Amino acid sequence: STEVKRVKNSIGYVEFTHVVQAKLAYGLVQNRAGKFIAPSAASFQAAALSFDWAAAKDFFVIINDSPAEGAYPIAATTFAVMYKEPKVPANSQAAFAFWRFALDDGEKFASELGYVPLPPVLVQQVKDYWAKTFKGGA
């Protein structure tokens, strides 16, 4: 992001948090609905909410090119891979403790850094999935 800011008239693709932190100029991008949308917490959440996460196997959803009118068309999800039955349960419990913190109390810190929290309805779906799927994941 530093180089994009430094080089006059440059165009680059950087993570939204870097755009916010470096105070970079950005353009609107046309989405599938034909609307020109700015990157923002609301437009990323609109993309996330436009998909049926519960119907997706293991929450595997690619949220690029959302059909929602207010959705920013270039968005990504981050996934964590966990053992359903861990060999070292304490390690798995520590990982789930971190993810629970990230989804509950940690979202305010993430928001301050420019990261977009998951919509509350999706957070609950994730927690329900953990409880059903992973030993020690509740």
Residue 126's alpha-carbon distances to 29, 54, 69, 113, 119, in angstroms, are 29, 9, 25, 23, 11
Domain spans of the chain, in order of start: 1-78, 80-138
Right CATH number for 1-78 from 3.30.200.20, 1.10.3720.10, 3.40.50.10420, 3.40.190.10? 3.40.190.10
Per-residue pLDDT of 102-112, as tens digits, reads 999 998 888 88
Residue of 74, 68, 20, 70 lying closest to 42 (CA atoms): 70
- Residue type for position 135: K
pLDDT band, very low/low/confident/very high, at 16 (cuts 50, 70, 90):
confident
C-alpha span between 84 and 87 (Å, rounded): 10
Per-residue pLDDT of 33-89, as tens digits, reads 999 999 998 999 999 999 998 899 988 999 999 999 999 999 988 888 888 888 998
